[in-house]
A and B are shown apart, each in its own frame.
Chain A
Amino acid sequence: MTRRLKAARLGPRDVLHVGSAGLRSRPMRVVLSALGIAIGIATMISVVGISASSQAQLLRELDKLGTNLLVASPGESMFAGEDVKLPEESVGMVGRIDGVQDVGATGDLDASVRRNEKIDEGDTGGIVVKATTEDLLKVLRGEIGSGSWLNDATGRYPSVVLGHVSAKRLGITGPGRQVWIGDRYFTVVGILAPLPLAPEIERSALVGWTGAKRLLDFDGHPTSVYERSTDASVGDVRKVMGATVDPRNPQNVKVSDPSSALRAKAATEGAFSSLLLGLGGIALLVGGVGVANTMIISVLERRYEIGLRRSLGATRGQIRIQFVTESLMLSGLGGLAGVALGATATGVYAGSGGLPWVVPLWAVSGGFAATLAIGTVAGLYPAIRASRLSPTLALHAA
């Protein structure tokens, strides 16, 4: 008769069953108290998701543009005020470097571009007039927005191609119009599409190399040499480029990698706003307080159930785990809804902006882990209170 007494364990299914009983009987309250958590998680997921999507978009763009473009330009001279120029023959020299596929160059001109001769010469609108080699567009993998690129014939005559920013600033929407450069009218033959890798070209008016020499007193010295090489040889080309461009004064040549600037931009875009993330965190915290509140009320309301379960043989630990499970389920539901909501918000944003839809897995799992942690903390105090209720008091309460 006096066999040893041992409290039976509740199986995981029974724990879930007992823990969800309270939720099933009050669905409206579940929705409302899970909402706080859901809003917090949704905020955090969408903040992270939107930044990640923007970043993915930039990186995708970068992939398309290639990371094998290098630009050589004159650096600061050791002697202040001295005008540093690149040698005339540098374009040809760079073309002979091993691995280089295409070379192009631009040379800055003193002239300014205006809508007509009546506009003041100083009113340049930030547009630089450059002489350009024909290969430039190929090197930059640029595209013509409208009209055509300079060729052998048009490059000789007063014709100009505008970067898309300069076209906008000059108020020119298509080819055929004329603009005033130096002391004569040039005909706009084409307008370039945006060039993310070369924002300086977007803000230029480009004149053919020979035409510039003939019409605008261009001395033939390039200001920037652009080269595109095979991906494998970018490093090697970079090492020798300075010396190749200006063998006598390699220290005067600055070699830059425009794609690295874009990559840095991608990194900044990816760095989500910590302010918004903080707001999400606060919403999550408030949601947690809501869950704790709901749990305390739930324990008060269900004193008789607690008494009943104790009389049926539930241990204090089993009462505790019942309410912690309930709290976990409550916040877990909120977390799931929040993840779904945040992913949807990111999807809508990405869809409307033509961005790829990226929701990082670490954000989803991190957000969900946070809700579970909050659920445990929020449920612990009410659960301990529930387990300490005297069974007799609980039975009287009904």
Chain B
Amino acid sequence: MSTVVGLTGVTKEYPGGVSALRGVDLTVEEGELLGIVGPSGSGKSTLLHIIGTLDRPTAGSVHIAGHDVAKLSDRRLSALRAQHVGFVFQAFHLVPGVSARDNVAEGLLYSGLSRTVRRRRAAAALERVGLADRLDHRPHQLSGGQKQRVAIARAVVGEPALLLADEPTGALDSASGAAVMELLRDLNQEGATIAVITHDTEIAGRLPREVRIRDGEVVADTGDAVSAHGVGAAR
């Protein structure tokens, strides 16, 4: 087992003195499925951006898939995202008017693979999420749950070290939401490391590990790994 995410003393302050994160320590090992949960304004979105290397902390160190983010240029950071991080968004962010297959293949665009390989892998990824019969459907022909599955396929098609899902069920009804969570659990069973960011304690509570965030600090972590403030206590 190796460490996929390693945060130590991560602090993020925005201009004007607002602190979104205050000294967060978080370690995620390979193969974990965890929920990062907190009310809006707790700093969980900022945490997502920092783990996803879309933003850099003002203090503290961030290691993703063994790379020290602070030492990477924008180019290398982009390559890190291309190779090691997959994102799933609440709003899906599919390209309108483009088939499900090509939307998924877009996830490999910046990986350096040829178009043929990208499309072949995209088909396999769609099959994996149960949409083998929807390869040529365009986003407007798909239900919300199907769209989110396409987005998940796009995130996992490059076999990233870490899958970050930001409120993946936020725009879905409960049945589709449950199906999406089931899919994430299955993917985790097959070895994917997944972090689900949500405000929904119910969803987070059903995941093997739950990290609670409030006011920019980790207030609870059910994980066995080294945790913030040494709080290993379960609920």
Q: Footprint of B on A, CB under 8 Å?
A: 1-2, 5-11, 13-14, 18, 21, 24-25, 304-305, 307-318, 390-392, 395, 398
- Asked, given contacts A14-B115, A25-B96, whether A392 binds B110 with beta carbons under 8 Å apart, the answer is no
Which of B33-41, B70-78, B201-209 contacts its partner?
B70-78
Contact mask for chain B residues 146-185; partner A; CB cutoff 8 A; 1 contact, 0 none:
0000000010000000000000000000000000000000
Whether B54 and A5, one on each chain, are in contact in the complex, defined by CB atoms closer than 8 angstroms, is no
**B225 adjacent to chain A (CB < 8 Å):** no
- Which of B85, B89, B97 has the most C-beta atoms of chain A within 10 angstroms of its own C-beta? B89
Q: Which of B56-109 contact A (CB under 8 A)?
A: 65-67, 72, 74-76, 78-83, 85, 87, 89, 91, 93, 95-98, 106-107, 109
- Asked, given contacts A1-B65, A395-B54, whether A312 binds B2 with beta carbons under 8 Å apart, the answer is no
- Which of A304, A311, A313, A315 has the most C-beta atoms of chain B within 10 angstroms of its own C-beta? A313
A–B pairs, 23, beta carbons within 8 Å: A1-B2, A1-B66, A5-B76, A7-B75, A7-B78, A7-B82, A8-B79, A9-B112, A304-B93, A305-B93, A307-B54, A310-B81, A311-B85, A312-B107, A312-B109, A312-B110, A312-B154, A314-B109, A315-B74, A315-B75, A390-B55, A391-B54, A391-B55
- Asked, given contacts A311-B81, A312-B107, A313-B82, whether A5 binds B72 with beta carbons under 8 Å apart, the answer is yes
The binding surface of chain A is classed by DSSP as helix
**B140 adjacent to chain A (CB < 8 Å):** no
Question: In the complex, given contacts A313-B81, A318-B78, what are 13 additional A-B residue pairs having Cβ atoms less than 8 angstroms apart?
Answer: A5-B72, A5-B83, A7-B78, A8-B110, A10-B109, A21-B95, A25-B96, A309-B110, A313-B78, A313-B110, A316-B75, A391-B54, A391-B55
- Asked, given contacts A7-B82, A21-B95, A395-B89, whether A2 binds B66 with beta carbons under 8 Å apart, the answer is yes
Closest residue of B by beta carbon distance from A6: B79
From A309, A313, A317, A398, B111 is in contact (CB under 8 Å) with A313
Within the assembled complex, what's the spacing in Å between the Cα atoms of A7 and B52?
A: 16
Residues of chain A lying within 8 A (CB to CB) of residue B229: none
**B120 adjacent to chain A (CB < 8 Å):** no
From B65, B67, B79, B106, A7 is in contact (CB under 8 Å) with B79
Whether A315 and B65, one on each chain, are in contact in the complex, defined by CB atoms closer than 8 angstroms, is no
Within the assembled complex, what's the spacing in Å between the Cα atoms of A5 and B98?
A: 30
Within the assembled complex, what's the spacing in Å between the Cα atoms of A310 and B115?
A: 19
Whether A2 and B67, one on each chain, are in contact in the complex, defined by CB atoms closer than 8 angstroms, is yes
Within the assembled complex, what's the spacing in Å between the Cα atoms of A321 and B66?
A: 30
Whether B109 and A18, one on each chain, are in contact in the complex, defined by CB atoms closer than 8 angstroms, is yes
Residues of chain B lying within 8 A (CB to CB) of residue A398: 89, 91, 93
From B91, B96, B97, B111, A8 is in contact (CB under 8 Å) with B111
Within the assembled complex, what's the spacing in Å between the Cα atoms of A304 and B74?
A: 19
Closest residue of A by beta carbon distance from B110: A313
Within the assembled complex, what's the spacing in Å between the Cα atoms of A390 and B87?
A: 16
Whether B109 and A7, one on each chain, are in contact in the complex, defined by CB atoms closer than 8 angstroms, is no
Within the assembled complex, what's the spacing in Å between the Cα atoms of A308 and B52?
A: 12
Within the assembled complex, what's the spacing in Å between the Cα atoms of A8 and B114?
A: 11
Task: Name the distance in Å between A9's Cβ and chain B's nearest Cβ.
Answer: 7
Whether A311 and B110, one on each chain, are in contact in the complex, defined by CB atoms closer than 8 angstroms, is no
- Asked, given contacts A1-B65, A5-B79, A305-B95, whether A312 binds B106 with beta carbons under 8 Å apart, the answer is yes
Closest residue of B by beta carbon distance from A398: B91
Residues of chain B lying within 8 A (CB to CB) of residue A313: 78-83, 110-111
Within the assembled complex, what's the spacing in Å between the Cα atoms of A312 and B80?
A: 10
Residues of chain A lying within 8 A (CB to CB) of residue B98: 21
Residues of chain A lying within 8 A (CB to CB) of residue B112: 8-9
Closest residue of A by beta carbon distance from B3: A1
Within the assembled complex, what's the spacing in Å between the Cα atoms of A5 and B78?
A: 9
Closest residue of A by beta carbon distance from B72: A5
